Amino acid sequence: MQIIENATLYDAIIVGSGAGGGMATKVLADAGLKVAVVEAGPFFDPANPEQKTQLRWPWESERRGASTQFRPFGDFDAAYGGWEIEGEPYTHKDGTKFDWFRSHMLGGRTNHWGRISLRFGPKDFKHKDIDGYGENWPISYEDIKPYYDRLDKLIGVFGTNERLPNDPDGFFLPPPKPRLHELFYIKGARKSNIPVYPSRMSMLTKKINKERGVCFYCGQCSRACSVYADFSSGSCLIFPAQKNGGQVDLFVNCMVREVTVDEEGRATGVSYINKEDRKEYKVKAKVVVLGASACSTARILLNSKSTQHPNGLGNSSDHVGKYLHDSTGADRAAFIPDLMNRKPSYNEDGVGGMHVYSPWWGDNSKLDFPRGYHLEIWGGMGMPNYGFGFNVNEFNKFFGTKVGGYGDMLRSDVKKYWGAVVGVSSRGESIARKDNYCEIDPSTVDEWGIPVLRFHYKWSDLELNQARHAHNTFEEILTNMGGEMLGDKPGKDMDYGLQTPGRIIHEVGTTRMGDDAKTSVTNKFQQLHEVDNVFIVDAGPFVSQADKNCTWTIMALSWRASEYIVDQLKKQNL
Amino acid sequence: MDRRKSIKSIVLGSVATGLVANGCKPGQENPETGVKKPENVAWRTPVENEIINEIQGEEFFNAHERETLTVLCDLILPPSDQFKGASDAKVVDFIEFMVKDHIPFQTDFRGGLMWLDHKCNTEFGLEFKSCNENQQKSILDTIAFYDPDVIAEERPFEVNFFATVRDLTMTGFYTSKIGIEELGYKGNMPNVWNGVPEDVLKQHGVAYEEEWLAKCIDQSKRGVIAEWDDEGNLLT
Q: What is the three-class DSSP state of A248? A: strand
H or E element at residue B19: none
The residue ranges of chain B whose pLDDT is under 50 are: 1-28
A35 closest CA partner among A49, A60, A59, A15: A15
Is residue A341 situated within a structural domain?
no
Say yes or no for a CB contact (<8 Å) between B144 and A410: no
Is residue A74 situated within a structural domain?
yes
Alpha carbon separation from A228 to A193, A224, A225, A231, A380 (Å, rounded): 37, 8, 5, 7, 24
Beta strand spans in chain B (E): 145-146
Domain count, chain A: 1
| A259: CB partners within 8 A, 6+ apart | A267, A269, A270, A288, A290, A300, A301, A304, A313, A534
Give me the pLDDT at residue B39, please.
Answer: 76
HSE-CB for B17 with a 13 A CA cutoff: 5
A200 at interface of B, judged by CB pairs closer than 8 A: no
Is residue A108 situated within a structural domain?
yes
Residue A311, Cβ neighbours under 10 Å: how many?
A: 13
B188 at interface of A, judged by CB pairs closer than 8 A: yes
User: pLDDT by residue for chain A (574 residues), tens digit each?
Assistant: 467 888 899 999 999 999 999 999 999 999 999 999 999 999 999 999 999 999 999 999 999 999 999 999 999 999 999 999 999 999 999 999 999 999 999 999 999 999 999 999 999 999 999 999 999 999 999 999 999 999 999 999 999 999 999 999 999 999 999 999 999 999 999 999 999 999 999 999 999 999 999 999 999 999 999 999 999 999 999 999 999 999 999 999 999 999 999 999 999 999 999 999 999 999 999 999 999 999 999 999 999 999 999 999 999 999 999 999 999 999 999 999 999 999 999 999 999 999 999 999 999 999 999 999 999 999 999 999 999 999 999 999 999 999 999 999 999 999 999 999 999 999 999 999 999 999 999 999 999 999 999 999 999 999 999 999 999 999 999 999 999 999 999 999 999 999 999 999 999 999 999 999 999 999 999 999 999 999 999 999 999 999 999 999 999 999 999 999 999 999 999 9
Question: Is the Cα dihedral A236, A238, A241, A242 positive or negative?
Answer: negative
Say yes or no for a CB contact (<8 Å) between B226 and A345: no
A388 closest CA partner among B78, B95, B179, B157: B179
Give me the pLDDT at residue A527, please.
Answer: 98
Dihedrals φ, ψ of A330, to 5°?
-150, 155
β-bridge partners, A428: A328, A373
HSE-CB for A521 with a 13 A CA cutoff: 32
Is residue A511 situated within a structural domain?
yes
Burial of residue A532 (CB within 10 Å: 0-12, 13-18, 19+) is middle
Chain A residues within 8 A of B105 when measuring between CB atoms: none
Can you give the residue range of the structural domain that contains A307? 1-158+220-326+432-457+505-574
Picking from B150, B162, B171 by the largest number of A CB atoms within 10 A of its own CB, the best residue to mutate is: B171
Alpha carbon separation from A195 to A199, A359, A367, B149 (Å, rounded): 12, 8, 18, 36
Say yes or no for a CB contact (<8 Å) between B183 and A175: no
Picking from A406, A409, A422, A481 by the largest number of B CB atoms within 10 A of its own CB, the best residue to mutate is: A406
Give me the pLDDT at residue A557, please.
Answer: 98
CB contact residues (below 8 A), chain A span 406-435, against chain B: 406-408, 410-411, 414-415, 418
Alpha carbon separation from B46 to A58, A70, B42, B51 (Å, rounded): 20, 11, 8, 9
- Give the integer Cα–Cα distance in Å for A442 and A445: 8
A483 closest CA partner among A177, A179, A178, A189: A189
Say yes or no for a CB contact (<8 Å) between A171 and B228: yes
B105 at interface of A, judged by CB pairs closer than 8 A: no
Identity of the residue in A59, A68, A338 whose CB atom sits nearest the CB atom of B175: A59
- Give the integer Cα–Cα distance in Å for A431 and A135: 9
Identity of the residue in A52, A69, A389 whose CB atom sits nearest the CB atom of B174: A389
Helix axes B133-143 and B63-76, enclosed angle (nearest 10): 80
Contact A410, A392 (CB under 8 A): yes
ipTM of the complex: 0.95
Is residue A290 situated within a structural domain?
yes
Identity of the residue in B76, B177, B223 whose CB atom sits nearest the CB atom of A406: B76
A358 closest CA partner among A168, A470, A199: A199
Where are the alpha helices (H) located in A219-330, listed in sequence order? 233, 239-243, 294-303
Chain B residues within 8 A of A56 when measuring between CB atoms: 43
Buried b (16+ CB within 10 A) or exposed e, A175-190: bbbbbbbbbbbbbbbe
A324 closest CA partner among A450, A430, A239, A404: A430
CATH number, domain of A115, equals 3.50.50.60
Give me the pLDDT at residue A5, please.
Answer: 86
The residue count for chain B: 236
| A210: CB partners within 8 A, 6+ apart | B225
Question: β-strand A356-357 against A437-445: which pairing, if any?
Answer: unpaired
- Give the integer Cα–Cα distance in Å for B2 and A101: 26
| A58: CB partners within 8 A, 6+ apart | A64, A65, A383, A384, A385, A386, B175, B176, B180
Q: What does R_g of chain B's alpha carbons equal in angstroms?
A: 25
Contact A380, A355 (CB under 8 A): no
DSSP-derived secondary structure for A125-142: HSHHHHHS-S---SS-HH
Give me the pLDDT at residue A42, please.
Answer: 96
Chain B residues within 8 A of A63 when measuring between CB atoms: 97-98, 101
Is residue A483 situated within a structural domain?
no
Is residue A392 situated within a structural domain?
no
Is residue A97 situated within a structural domain?
yes
pTM of the model: 0.94
